[in-house]
Amino acid sequence: MSTTALIMDRFNADELAVRRLLTRVPAFAALCEDYATACCALARWSEDENKAADYKAIIEELEREISGFLIGSNDTGETG
- pLDDT tens string 26-80: 999 999 999 999 999 999 999 999 999 999 999 999 999 999 999 988 765 544 4
Give the number of domains in the chain. Answer: 1
Residue 58 has a pLDDT of: 98
User: Which residues constitute the domain of residue 11?
Assistant: 3-76
Residue 79 has a pLDDT of: 45
Phi-psi region of 5 (alpha: psi -120 to 50; beta: other; left: phi over 0): alpha
Residue 62 has a pLDDT of: 98
Q: What is the pTM of this model?
A: 0.86
Q: With residue 73 as reference, give the H or E element that holds it.
A: helix 49-76
| CA distances (Å), origin 77, targets 44, 53, 61, 69, 72 | 37, 35, 23, 11, 7
CA distance 37 to 59: 9
